[in-house]
Structure 1
Amino acid sequence: MSSRINIHTVAMWMLPVLLLAVYLLPLAGVFGWSVSRPEAGLENYARVLTDTDTLNILWRTARICLTVTVVSVMLAYLMSYHWVYGSPARKFFMELCIFIPFWISVLIRAFGWVVILRNKGIVNTFLLDLNLIAEPLTLVRTEFSVILGMVHFMVPFAVFPIAASMRQIDARVLLASRGMGATPGFTFWNVFLPLTIPGVLASAIIVFVFALGFFITPAILGGGKIVMVAEYIYIQMFQTANWGFGAALSIFVLAIVGALAGLLFKVIRPERLVN
């Protein structure tokens, strides 16, 4: 018995040490770079907030992330509804749509969209054969292609919080609404949807936070023309060797992610979604 207690005590003490070594020390190093390279001070943070190119990239990143979040959550809501309330065959189909993407590499998915959207790809070839267009559409190296690839990746992640909130709804509440003469549309907008709002908000924050850190998909589908903040940080640190500015931009993005994570755990309290 004492040996088990000792092992448990050691494990409890080792966890903070591991977290310190794996996360906090590297983070402290990055923060140190941000205020010391090339010179000591806060010039790198001032540049993040004043440099025109950086602000344009931050605005593009925010715009793309918001679009991806809205589209992903809407699609995830529809899929979650059919997954929770659909027939057995429909539930099985939804499970295939949700879980199979997890088995496919993000790199393969990105190149798959390139094959589909390029000038001689499946979409343009199909439209040309039907004489719907006179020349191939420019679908890759655009914000559209980046958003499409990111939505494809994020929808499965967006499904789980929404589906969890739907499973917590007491069916008797919906039956009571219908029994009192409410139409299906009224029941959905005034009863069902408000009860699923915590799952929707949790899903939206999760998708937005994930989208902020996207690198491979924008790099491949954007082709260097649609640069997002993660790729810009990589360029600053590994191509231009501007370690201080890249570190400051990393800390800036981390602060945004931390604020959103705090909102997720304080306001939405996602632990309710898994009980």
Structure 2
Amino acid sequence: MRRFRSDRAIAALMIAPLLLLLAFCYAVPFLGVAQWSVTLPEPGVGQYAILLTDPLVQSVFVRTLRICLVVTLVSVAAAYAISVVWVRGTPMQRILVEFCILVPFWISVLTRAFGWVALLSNRGLVNTWLQSIGIIAAPLPLVRNEFGVIVGMSHFLIPFAVFPIASAIRALDERVLLAARGMGASRTRIFWTVFVPMTRSGIIGAALIVFVFALGFFITPAILGGGRSVMIAELIYLRIFQSPDWGLGAAISVVLIVAVGVLMALLFRLVNPRQMV
């Protein structure tokens, strides 16, 4: 018993510097931002009241929620298909899929955003190709709108959604699928009534991870949205650095951080973190 307590004390001492560093780097700045939200430009909760009454702020929150939900749906659906091939495909398919999953992590978000601009702009590769073969007469508006933002964000977030889903698929008991097949169920029915429900934890984990990441996106919406699809993170930047309205920007930041904290708590409550590795 004494040895056990001694080991716990040593472990606590070893992890204490990391906890102190995290507190200094995250908790202290957050407390400072929270203080701004109730002291600037004057003491009170007036900035939080603006969040509930200002049409501009409300429209940004609604747009952010809409884009995040669509991006989550697209990313999780694509990641599920990729994960099935990665886990249950042929060796060559697995190598190819693994390569396609890992390569995006080597490319910066800024480079990827400008890559999509080169593809989707009015004079980009997609519009130029569609016009050259006569499918369209005028360029399609594929950037500087929500469509471009959704495409860029989904492309960035799909690899993050693959890992929890693939982990859930690997943990699937193959005997259950064989039993369903032996009882005469078709492949389609097995997939929708057995395979998908048994990987629900991975789907939930992937959806929450993607949604949390999407809430704080800044670079991709700023470049592909062209200022026409402002999301929460960009609104915070505008209020802090361009308006300037530090109190309102701080209030929006606090709301965003609290929302992310609630979602992360929900993630760890619904899904075992070990299942997402």
Q: TM-score range by the shorter chain?
A: over 0.9
Residues 5-64 of structure 1 show CA distances to partners (whole Å, capped at 9, x for unaligned) of 997554233233222211111111010000000010000011112110000000000000
- Provide closer, same or farther for how the CA distance between residues 43 and 170 of structure 1 changes in structure 2, counting only shifts above 3 A: same
Q: What amino acid sits opposite 2:55 in the alignment?
A: T
Of 47, 54, 65 in structure 1, the residue corresponding to residue 68 of structure 2 is 65
1:57-80, Cα deviation, whole Å (9 max, x unpaired):
000000000000000000000000
5+ unaligned residues in a row in structure 1: which ranges?
A: none
Task: Tell me the residue number matched to 1:144.
Answer: 147
1:97 equivalenced with 2:97 (yes/no): no
Structure 2 residue runs of 5 or longer lacking an equivalent are 1-6
Letter in 2 for 1:93: L
Aligned partners of 1:270, 1:14: CA distance in 2, in Å? 23
Q: Does 1:187 align with 2:190?
A: yes
Map 1:1-275 to 2 at 5 A.
10-274=13-277
Structure 1 runs of 4+ off > 4 angstroms? Answer: 4-9
Q: Which amino acid is the alignment partner of residue 33 of structure 2?
A: V
CA–CA distance in 2 between the matches of 1:167 and 1:204? 18
The alignment-based identity, stated in percent, is 53
Q: 1:5 to 1:197 in 2, by over 3 A?
A: closer
* Superposed displacement of residue 247, structure 1: 0.4
Write the letter of the residue equivalent to 1:97. C
Q: Distance in 2 between matches of 1:75 and 1:129?
A: 29
Contact 2:164 2:275 in 1 (8 A): no
Q: Distance in 2 between matches of 1:6 and 1:268?
A: 29
Distance in 2 separating the partners of 1:24 and 1:236: 22
Seen in structure 2, the aligned counterparts of structure 1 residues 94 and 39 have a Cα distance that, compared at 3 Å, is: same
CA RMSD of aligned residues (A): 1.5
Given that residues 131 and 137 in structure 2 are in contact (C-alpha distance below 8 angstroms), is that contact kept between their aligned partners in structure 1? yes
Aligned residue pair count? 271
Distance 2:122 2:275 in 1: 47
CA distance in 2, matches of 1:105, 1:156: 14
Q: Secondary structure at the match of 1:35?
A: helix
Instruction: For residues 243-266 of structure 1, give each alpha carbon's deviation from its aligned partner in whole angstroms, at most 9, with x where no partner exists.
Output: 111000001111111111111011
